[in-house]
Amino acid sequence: MRNAQLSYNHLNYLDRTNIGNAYPGGMGTDLNLTSSDYSLVLSIFFVGYLLWEVPSNMMLAHSTPRVFLPTIMFIWGAMSIGAKGIHNLGGMVAFRFVLGLVEAGFFPGVMLLMSCWYKPAELSKRVAIFYTAALMAGAFGGILAGLIIEGLEGKAGTRGWKWLFIIEGLITVFFASIAFFVLPNYPATTKWLTEEERELAINRLRVGAGADAPEEHVSHFQAFKDACKDPKTWVFVVVYNLINGAGTISYFFPTLMKTLGYTGRKIQFMTVPIYAVSLVISVTGGIIADKTRQKAFVVLGAALLSTVSFIIITAVKNSKVRYAFLCFGGAGIWTAVPVFLSWMVTMFDGREKRAVSIALVNGFGNLASVYGSFLWDKKYAPGYLPGFATTTALCGCIAIVVTFARFMWGDKGVAKTS
């Protein structure tokens, strides 16, 4: 299951973030996009994402993941192929909004499915490995974008940046078709498990969560009320909002490479080391979190790493030093994300409540990408002081709120006792 989810998350982020590679590759010129227009194109995705997040995960909690998740993939892949027909700002905005609606259920849906298969002490490493797909998409996406945009420019009367959407969409459709046959359902509904294996899968989760009674299932409305009344939900919304606000820098890596003096296809290729460093540190952080069972403190350490890195980037002028600490700043953010998510999903009991809570946290958390996209306007080039200063502040706030949550509820969603 883990290997399949790794591949599909790679495609999810590849299709979502190719916009960052397409913009300097000709899309901005062809669609006559100003810097503000590009920020709108980025942010509108997350409006659709937020609107359909909770309904999608509520549907998944009572549906068949093996069908639900691949269907989402197939639709967004087909939409990406259709991006060839976009010729103006309005078309791109509409495309990105609907894409946000379609993709809304995928990532939180996979998080819900993983939480139904793995114990809390097993989850951080696996979520970190799962999340490396996003980092691999960033790394290989840059290489792939550079090759496609330059190599296929003008082929069949189509611009290179449109070929980027078409090819990545075709790859997604292909793997979505395979996913119908390889993804599992929940432990209790996976047909290829024997009765003994099914009981083992269910009981090991009860033991891992410290629960003796069978899980009680509730209605959609009751689950929604329970999730909204739980203060943990809203504290985690704040944390994830801060993390994603800082993470919007990733959409501007190609743009930042230009300000550091790189040109042509090297703009795309120089984004690769950033993701490579992040991949190593992220997986290491996940392993440490599982071994120590101190997930919150790993998130805290990652936030502090980013805070210090972005302070240095803001303070110095040397391009090589800025680039090096951009790698570490990004690594801190992308270590915080998977470890935080693996911590958060274990904090809520009951599949239905957990589904709603995950969707609320992921949905409202991604709302940060709406305003975060406007922090990197071209008028702030080449230093981008507002973007780096705000990102530094966001990372510092992550450390503060995570520390508060850790001492309020611990690392397994259980209030501390004296």
Q: How far apart are CA 32 and CA 108, in angstroms?
A: 34
Q: How far apart are CA 355 and CA 96, in angstroms?
A: 25
What average pLDDT does range 392-402 have in this prediction?
A: 96
pLDDT digits (tens, 9 = 90+) for 310-320: 999 988 888 88
Residue 237 lies inside a defined structural domain of this protein? yes
- Residue type, position 62, single letter: H
Q: How far apart are CA 387 and CA 385, in angstroms?
A: 5
Range of the domain at 36: 2-409
Q: How far apart are CA 43 and CA 132, in angstroms?
A: 23
Q: How far apart are CA 348 and CA 384, in angstroms?
A: 39
Residue 415 lies inside a defined structural domain of this protein? no
What average pLDDT does range 311-335 have in this prediction?
A: 91
Residue 275 lies inside a defined structural domain of this protein? yes
CATH of the domain at 135: 1.20.1250.20
Residue 418 lies inside a defined structural domain of this protein? no
pLDDT digits (tens, 9 = 90+) for 271-306: 888 888 988 999 899 889 988 889 999 999 999 999
Q: According to the model, what pLDDT value does residue 412 have?
A: 63
Residue 414 lies inside a defined structural domain of this protein? no
What domain count does the chain have?
1
pLDDT digits (tens, 9 = 90+) for 58-77: 787 777 888 888 999 999 99
Residue 391 lies inside a defined structural domain of this protein? yes
Q: Is the model's pLDDT at 269 over the cut of 90?
A: no
Cα 61–223–244 angle (5° rounding)?
A: 75
Residue 326 lies inside a defined structural domain of this protein? yes
pLDDT digits (tens, 9 = 90+) for 30-50: 999 988 898 888 888 888 888
Which token pair is 190? 């996976």
Residue 394 lies inside a defined structural domain of this protein? yes
